[in-house]
Structure formats: structure tokens, C-alpha cells
Amino acid sequence: MTNALPFSRSADANKEVICAQLRANLQPGARVLEIGSGTGQHAVHFAGQMADIIWQPSDRNIDDMGLLATLKTAALPNIEAPFALDVLHWPSLRPKFDAVYSANCIHAMPVENLKPYVEGAAASLKAGGAMMFYGPFKYAGQFTTESNESFNQWLVETFPGGGIRDFETVDTFAQENGLAFVSDTAMPSNNQFLVWRKP
């Protein structure tokens, strides 16, 4: 019997392109809070590629997807111990981080979690800090591709309250919490990399 580490094919497939965007938006020494770290593959890859970045993994339940085992095996000095974070009940992190990041996260959580997610992220950012999302988005209520529309149907059927989010909704919540929109970069597989920044 092998004790193989958990593996997410999608996380492995998109790690390089996301890393390039993170590198472009982070200064050396930045502290990054990752929401929904899952298997920990992204944390390990990004921290390994960017030794000058301090990576803080988190998830609603850090025991569910093998996060602890992945981080223990990697043993990277710039990854901090993961902690449980429920976006409906943010711990007191204010203001501590240079960036709050998540990949393929907000479309899998209930829609009512989106506003508190943005509120907590904004409150946890230092001045000049960035809130960053990777994943699919709608614009003016429209899907960017037919495949994203099909993916949205799967999300709705799979995750209670799940679904691809509207850019305009996220932007409204961001503005309400003092974040200014910075950039929207098209990514492979009909995804986007979105950045808002705290003045």
C-alpha cells in the first residue's frame, strides 16, 4: 500500500500560468493568504518558484484534501502552517497580508459567501495589497463560452449555491470595501486572472 499524496489534475495544469501572474503582481517579501488551498499543490509550487514570497495556506477544513501531508512532504521554509478559515467567520487578520488569492474557489462556494469573502479579504490586506482571483467569470450576466455555460450547469448541480460569478458583482463588493479594480487577464481554458488593489 502506498501513501500517495493527493493530486488535482486541474491544479497541476494551471500552476505555471498562474505563477507568472502572481509573480507579476507581487513584490519580493510579500505575504500571501491563499483561500481554499485544497490539496496544497499550488502552495508548494508557488512557494517553490518564489522563494522571496511568504505563503499562508488556508481552507475551511485543512484535513479534507490532504493539505497537511502535502505541505509536510514539501517542507518549504516560506510556507507557513495552514489554518482553518471559513469566509463567513473570518479570524482576526487585520491588516496583515500583501495579497489574498484563490483559484477556482468562489464558484464552488454558496453565492451568499461571496460578499463576506470580499469583505474579509479587503480587511485582511495591508495598504497597497491585492485581492486576486483565478477562474471563470461572467460579464454582464453572459458566459464567455458555451463550455463555461455547461460548466456552470455542473457547478449548480454539484455545489449548493455554486455557479460562475458575475465580474460586476465582485467588482461592486470590492468597491464597497475600498478596493480598486486593476486588471483582468485572459488565461487558458476560458479562465481569467482578476486583480483588485487596496489604496
Tell me, what CATH number does 152's domain have?
A: 3.40.50.150
Task: Say if 4 falls within a structural domain.
Answer: no
pLDDT at position 1:
37
**Residue-number span of the structural domain to which 153 is assigned:** 9-197
What's the number of domains the chain is made of? 1
pTM across the whole model: 0.94
**CA 24 and chain centroid, separation:** 16
pLDDT at position 9:
83
Instruction: Quick: pLDDT tens for 50-95.
Output: 999 999 999 999 888 789 999 999 999 999 999 999 999 998 887 8
Q: Contact 119/99 with Cβ under 8 angstroms?
A: no
Four-residue CA torsion sign, 96, 198, 59, 45: negative
List 84's β-bridge partners, or say none: 59
